[in-house]
Amino acid sequence: MRSVIATAAFVASLLAGAAAAQAQQAAPIPGSVLAATCSGCHGPAGRSVAEIPPINGRTEQQLLSAMLDFKNDRRPATVMNRHAKGFSDDELAAIAREISANWR
């Protein structure tokens, strides 16, 4: 069962990687564009006041490692694992840069 899940996750990551690679043949998408929907749940400037964790005031490295861990199912998640798989590693890095630099 474990190997089935691992295989499924591996195939999923290949597919996600392919889709992301395809999308990236054009110019890289700026972090400000990629990060625009994050505030839908995490609140304006990432300052969630409700039960969803705020994401402002974190370092680039904290944000990136969290998102990579979500993407690779190394960190428990409800929905962030499903979101993170929609982006390439470079795109997650751009999101982390944008939020750490501009979301206060």
Q: Please choose, from the candidates 39, 21, 34, 28, the residue with its C-alpha nearest in 3D space to the C-alpha of residue 98.
A: 34
Instruction: Report if residue 16 touches another protein, rule: CB under 8 A.
Output: yes
- By CB under 8 A, is residue 86 in contact with another protein? yes
- Tell me: does residue 72 bind another protein (CB under 8 A): no
Q: Does residue 33 touch another protein according to CB under 8 A?
A: yes
Shortest distance (Å) from residue 10 CB to another protein: 10
* d(C-alpha 72, C-alpha 16), whole Å: 11
Assess 21 for contact with another protein (CB under 8 A).
Answer: no
